[in-house]
Structure 1
Amino acid sequence: MAAPRPPPARLSGVMVPAPIQDLEALRALTALFKEQRNRNLDTIGVAVDLILLFRELRVEQESLLTAFRCGLQFLGNVASRNEDSQSIVWVHAFPELFLSCLNHPDKKIVAYSSMILFTSLNSERMKELEENLNIAIDVIEAHQKHPESEWPFLIITDHFLKSPELVKAMYAKMSNQERVTLLDLIIAKIVGDEPLTKDDVPVFLSHAELIASTFVDQCKVVLRLTSEQQADDEEALATIRLLDVLCEMTANTDLLGYLQVFPGLLERVIDLLRLIHVAGRDTTNVFSTCGCIKAEGDVSNVAEGFKSHLIRLIGNLCYKNKDNQDKVNELDGIPLILDSCSIDDSNPFLTQWVVYAVRNLTEDNSQNQDLIAKMEEQGLADASLLKKMGFEVEKRGDKLILKSTNDTPPL
């Protein structure tokens, strides 16, 4: 890691900026450094010192603020597509410049400093970020505050998400709001127009380990949301987003197999489904059917879709996996899933996800088929509900057969 640069000089104990004679000259200089022949003329260190000076002065004058921005643009142009210049910028700018500028109230300064960081990063410098996590977290905050800015987004998606070690270290140190932002970007990467590449898959398997282990350890914190006093619990909200990520990861064939055998994941999901099902039935809270909390300003939608996503995840984990199909049966998960099938405004597509889960639970699994058929015969499963889900029970001699109907609703 580069040694910190000494602070800019002070006069009589008061830090003062050098006078700016001509702002247009600075702009012209910035433009000149777009050309390769004009780079690396020992001006990078001076430019960094001036930028740090502007930051410490907390400039508000428009002329000084413009000079601040131009200085950053100058560094960005110097570093663009030139590894030698990037190395010099990194030596002079890291970490002070990024610590000073990524959290600046001026969004252009945030964008320009993000551009410099994006341009300069490589695999070796990523390791330095692991020792300066505040910079990485500042990038997350920058994206959170300025989602329209492309540079923080590109830093996260093109650099951070390619480093499982950095993501793991960041996740442990971030606030829950920052975690939600990071998890949203992981989802965006998984469901994006471009599929994960062969190089992406091992990295995202590491991310899957972090997401699954964190969910297994912490998922019960969502039960805090049953209390109105803790209805905005940020840790619980971050845990809900973990479930969203797991649903998308298990929808990816490259990641599914790893998560299907992840220790404790399926058991914990079934356990949590049971807990929120009982909690929503016994008291009025965010897990109650039809979203019963409607007071102004509350967070009645924070758990929207949570039950649906739990059932979706169970269905994914059981997809063509006999061991998991049987495990759900052993844990009495099938009656629980069937009992969860009801109209619920707070859980869109709940019926469809129940249908999907039941299909994956019964595919090539006669034991699970027999269980549902016997439940219907004993009145423990509503025949009309099964029909609505696209199934019916037929008696053939002494045997009950669960079969699909032709009017199966689309998934």
Structure 2
Amino acid sequence: MAAPRPPPGRLSGVMMPAPIQDLEALRALTALFKEQRNRNLGTIGVAVDLILRFRELRVEQDSLLTAFRCGLQFLGNIASRNEDSQSVVWMHAFPELFLSCLNHPDRKIVAYSSMILFTSLNSERMKELEENLNIAIDVVEAHQKQPESEWPFLIITDHFLKSPELVKAMYAKMSNQERVTLLDLMIAKIVGDEPLTKDDAPVFLSHAELIASTFVDQCKIVLKLTSEQPADDEEALATIRLLDVLCEMTANTDLLGYLQVFPGLLERVIDLLRLIHVAGSDSTNVFSACASIKPEGDVSNVAEGFKSHLIRLIGNLCYKNKDNQDKVNELDGIPLILDSCGLDDSNPFLTQWVVYAIRNLTEDNSQNQDLIAKMEEQGLADASLLKKMGFEVEKRGDKLILKSTSDTPQL
């Protein structure tokens, strides 16, 4: 009979690293549990307890880290494609294991714990995350630190973005940097290779309400960038990213109609365009037109493209919508948009978006066409600029007609 194995040694209350043969045995078990027939639900609780012990030790020896990783891989394999195992893993692991591992300094431990979370989540368990927002925010932070890791990305795009309630609760509690990360992933989902499905549309309508209402309430924060005092770039960047999301949402036919009638959105966009246009003209700041690219890290890079995107959003909101076309006219938005067209390396494609907005503002709208024609006659609109945009003014008797030229606009 073989002699019993001696218990693991301890030093100052800390368990010594596991022998090499133990690590090999754990690796072998991990591999065996990839096969469903070898899974034993009774081992899950023990495995979770061991993993939490590893985390509590906070010892960074290679052998201990290897055992830590193998334990997480074991849980991931045992839960894969097995609902019974997933339920038991969730019962034992939530929330302590995820709170302990998702913010661990070891990249593999973060990746493996993310895999377990992704595998175990379902619609019912998503509700539990709403009561444990730190876990959800840790996932966003994990993606922020490891954008190449697929598991945090999939958790956010395949689970979090399907829960408007969770997203709203997360957004309120996040740092501005984390908000930017979440908004970037929302954009990635909207413009991805796979279009939003019919099931996605109602969810993203709820996201649209959050994004639009937050932008309407907070968009003037970007004006802090004009201050001579150092501004909170992250706060401004989060607001700027809201505008980016709105541009992509209004390019989606399922979301456009809702945002075209969103209270105060069009008015606030025009108001903000006027404010940054005046600010950029009156003094030199991040909203001033420039003819050279700023160095990387320059504060103006935070606001790059902001004016272009405001005009793009106005164009989208006026697409085949006469009420919004008329509203822009009433708010003196058309002269403002025309006056914004000029050389500005801080706003790539500015001329293209002005052309796009003017076309949407004048389509089947004689009042707006007449306004631009009279501006040209009075010298308030540059005829060469209109020609560059693909328009010309023709006088027929006492009436001025704005018409599209046969030439392609010189963009």
**Which TM class, normalised by the smaller chain length?**
over 0.9
Which residue in the other structure is 1:87 paired with? Answer: 87
Mapped contact 1:114–1:151 kept (Cα < 8 A) = yes
User: Secondary structure in 2 aligned to 1:300?
Assistant: helix
Which residue in the other structure is 2:261 paired with? Answer: 261
- How far apart are residue 293 of structure 1 and its match? 9.3
Which residue in the other structure is 1:399 paired with? Answer: 399
**C-alpha distance 106-2 of structure 1, shift in aligned 2 (>3 A):** farther
1: CA distance, partners of 2:35 / 2:234: 48
Mapped contact 2:41–2:88 kept (Cα < 8 A) = no
| Residues paired across the two proteins, number | 411
2: CA distance, partners of 1:41 / 1:71: 15
Mapped contact 2:8–2:16 kept (Cα < 8 A) = no
Mapped contact 1:293–1:300 kept (Cα < 8 A) = no
Q: Deviations over 1:60-93 (max 9, x none)?
A: 1100100000000000000000000000000000
**C-alpha distance 365-159 of structure 1, shift in aligned 2 (>3 A):** same
> Structure 1 residues 66-75 or 14-23, which shifts more?
14-23
- How far apart are residue 229 of structure 1 and its match? 2.7
2: CA distance, partners of 1:35 / 1:401: 75
Structure 1: give runs of 5+ residues left out of the alignment. Answer: none
**C-alpha distance 407-25 of structure 1, shift in aligned 2 (>3 A):** same
1: CA distance, partners of 2:214 / 2:15: 47
User: Secondary structure in 2 aligned to 1:288?
Assistant: coil
- How far apart are residue 352 of structure 1 and its match? 0.7
User: Secondary structure in 1 aligned to 2:403?
Assistant: strand
User: Secondary structure in 2 aligned to 1:297?
Assistant: coil
Mapped contact 2:222–2:239 kept (Cα < 8 A) = yes
Mapped contact 1:341–1:354 kept (Cα < 8 A) = yes
Identity percentage of aligned residues: 93
Mapped contact 2:389–2:410 kept (Cα < 8 A) = no
- How far apart are residue 227 of structure 1 and its match? 2.0
Mapped contact 2:390–2:410 kept (Cα < 8 A) = no
1: CA distance, partners of 2:3 / 2:298: 49
- How far apart are residue 120 of structure 1 and its match? 0.1
1: CA distance, partners of 2:219 / 2:18: 55
> Structure 1 residues 3-12 or 336-345, which shifts more?
3-12
Q: Deviations over 1:24-57 (max 9, x none)?
A: 1100011111122221241111111111111111
Q: Deviations over 1:222-248 (max 9, x none)?
A: 001112433452111100000000000
> Structure 1 residues 54-63 or 259-268, which shifts more?
54-63
**C-alpha distance 78-176 of structure 1, shift in aligned 2 (>3 A):** same
Mapped contact 1:2–1:91 kept (Cα < 8 A) = no
**C-alpha distance 107-203 of structure 1, shift in aligned 2 (>3 A):** same
- How far apart are residue 58 of structure 1 and its match? 1.2
2: CA distance, partners of 1:160 / 1:5: 47
Q: Deviations over 1:262-289 (max 9, x none)?
A: 0000000000000000000001111000
Mapped contact 2:14–2:57 kept (Cα < 8 A) = no
- How far apart are residue 291 of structure 1 and its match? 6.6
1: CA distance, partners of 2:20 / 2:49: 15
**C-alpha distance 29-281 of structure 1, shift in aligned 2 (>3 A):** same
> Structure 1 residues 19-28 or 270-279, which shifts more?
19-28
Q: What is the TM-score normalised by the length of structure 1? A: 0.95
Q: What is the TM-score normalised by the length of structure 2? A: 0.95
Which residue in the other structure is 2:38 paired with? Answer: 38
Q: Deviations over 1:174-232 (max 9, x none)?
A: 00000000000000000011100000000000000000000000000000111243345
1: CA distance, partners of 2:151 / 2:2: 24
Mapped contact 1:201–1:254 kept (Cα < 8 A) = yes
- How far apart are residue 12 of structure 1 and its match? 9.3
**C-alpha distance 29-7 of structure 1, shift in aligned 2 (>3 A):** closer
User: Secondary structure in 1 aligned to 2:284?
Assistant: coil
**C-alpha distance 80-257 of structure 1, shift in aligned 2 (>3 A):** same
Q: Deviations over 1:375-403 (max 9, x none)?
A: 01111111111111111100000000000
> Structure 1 residues 7-16 or 288-297, which shifts more?
7-16
- How far apart are residue 313 of structure 1 and its match? 0.2
Mapped contact 1:75–1:116 kept (Cα < 8 A) = yes
> Structure 1 residues 65-74 or 48-57, which shifts more?
48-57
Name the Cα RMSD after superposition.
4.9
2: CA distance, partners of 1:157 / 1:77: 22
**C-alpha distance 325-24 of structure 1, shift in aligned 2 (>3 A):** same
> Structure 1 residues 99-108 or 41-50, which shifts more?
41-50
- How far apart are residue 101 of structure 1 and its match? 0.3
- How far apart are residue 20 of structure 1 and its match? 6.8
Structure 2: give runs of 5+ residues left out of the alignment. Answer: none
User: Secondary structure in 2 aligned to 1:278?
Assistant: helix
Q: Deviations over 1:72-131 (max 9, x none)?
A: 000000000000000000000000000000001111000000000000000000000000
Please list, as runs of the form range in 1=range in 2, the aligned pairs for 1:5-404 lying within 5 A after superposition. Answer: 21-290=21-290, 294=294, 297-404=297-404
User: Secondary structure in 2 aligned to 1:228?
Assistant: coil
